[in-house]
Amino acid sequence: MDSIKNRCRRLSVLSVLLCLLAACSVSYKFNGASINYDKVKTITFENFPNRSAAFVWGPMETMFNTELQDRYMRQTRLRQVKRDGDLELSGEIANYDAYNKGVGSDGYSTMAELRMTVNVRFVNNSNHTEDFERKFSASQEYNSSQSLASVQEELVKKMIEDIVDQIFNATVANW
């Protein structure tokens, strides 16, 4: 008799737990995007020209534009359109500079830093309260004994990844 009561209790508890689990839903997004795809389906990218007055490195503009577009295409279900997207991204590479960071006892530079700043204009045509214009920056240090030409591509790639992360998080991740 006791074993039948125990089985009934266990079955009852198990049934209640299963009902609770069925009623709850948990949603995880590993790409960081939180987009309402019922309202937002398309995105428009304008070219981000390199308007840095101090320093220009030719491949940077193409590298930045490609990485920015690829990130949205890889991590969202948005469809890219030429104009009038639900989301619109435009702007320019506003600054790209190299600075001396440290001077050794001999008076020569020991560390240098590259800095990149991108000005971004974001328009969300389904919710204009999210529109903004903002600057995003990144920097990378390198040893001054290395020539900039030998480290520039790798450092620019890292800065671009950092800035694209910042832009992605500010526009569609809603952190």
Tens digits of residue pLDDT in 13-40: 556 555 544 544 333 344 456 788 999 9
Identify whether 26 is part of a domain.
no
pTM above 0.95, yes or no: no
Identify whether 148 is part of a domain.
yes
Identify whether 17 is part of a domain.
no
Cα separation of 29 and 125, whole Å? 23
- Is the predicted pLDDT of residue 5 greater than 90, yes or no? no
pLDDT band at 99 (very low <50, low <70, confident <90, very high): confident
The predicted pLDDT at position 12 comes to: 62
Identify whether 24 is part of a domain.
no
Please report, as a single letter, which amino acid is at residue 152: Q
Q: What is the pLDDT of residues 130-153, one digit of tens each?
A: 999 999 999 999 998 888 899 999
Give the count of domains, the chain.
1
Cα separation of 4 and 96, whole Å? 77
Indicate which CATH number applies to the domain containing 37: 3.30.160.150
Identify whether 65 is part of a domain.
yes
**Structural domain boundaries enclosing 88:** 31-173
Identify whether 18 is part of a domain.
no
Dihedral angle of Cα 59, 162, 143, 61, to the nearest 10 degrees? 10
Cα separation of 102 and 28, whole Å? 45
Give the H/E segment covering residue 26: none
pLDDT band at 108 (very low <50, low <70, confident <90, very high): confident
Cα separation of 138 and 103, whole Å? 22
pLDDT band at 54 (very low <50, low <70, confident <90, very high): confident
Contact residues for 93 (Cβ-Cβ < 8 A; gap 6+): 48, 49, 50, 51, 52, 60, 61, 64, 116, 117, 118
What mean pLDDT is reported for the chain? 85
For residue 152, give the DSSP letter.
Answer: H
- Determine which of 31-40, 72-81, 164-173 has the lowest per-residue pLDDT on average: 31-40
Identify whether 23 is part of a domain.
no
The predicted pLDDT at position 24 comes to: 44
pLDDT band at 53 (very low <50, low <70, confident <90, very high): confident
| Other beta carbons less than 10 A from residue 101's beta carbon | 14
Q: Two tokens at 9? A: 């209790």
The predicted pLDDT at position 18 comes to: 52
Identify whether 7 is part of a domain.
no
Burial degree of 41 (CB within 10 A; 0-12, 13-18, 19+): middle
The predicted pLDDT at position 119 comes to: 98
Cα separation of 99 and 53, whole Å? 15
